[in-house]
Amino acid sequence: MNDVSKHQISIKPTHLKRLLCMSSGILLYLALQNVASAENSFNLNQYTIEISGFAFVPKQLEVKTGDTITWINKDIVPHNILESIDQRIISPELGPGERYTFVVKESMLYHCELHPLMKGKLLLTPVP
């Protein structure tokens, strides 16, 4: 007989009850976290920003992580979207009538690289 089979574990009924209650509480907490996460994913929004008259309309949006932004170029000249702080390219050059869709990950200041006076903001609102 090996050492493992010689030993038996005994748990007092009161300890077992306490362990089951703690386990149930942890499982309930995890389940509620999943429900909250699922509810937030159902509350995602889609926004359209028109590029018109050498401006982003609207110029500023309050958004949540996971929301979708679609820029539509309604001007007669090309534009693009460049993140202003890191100079990261967000969209390719958009010709008249073209659109670009983007999923929000963070707040962002942006501008048109081709026309730097065109500026916009995506402000991240906290999710309760």
CA end-to-end span of the chain, whole Å? 58
Question: Which tokens is 13 given?
Answer: 């009924």
SS3 state at 60: strand
- What pTM was computed for the model? 0.67
Predicted local confidence at residue 126, as pLDDT? 77
Q: Which residues of the chain have pLDDT under 70?
A: 1-11, 15-42, 127-128
Beta bridge partners of residue 46, listed in sequence order: 68
* Residue entry with tokens 């539509």: 72
Predicted local confidence at residue 3, as pLDDT? 54
pLDDT per position as a tens digit, 48-76: 999 999 999 999 999 999 999 999 999 99
Residues 109, 64, 95: CA angle, nearest 5 degrees? 50
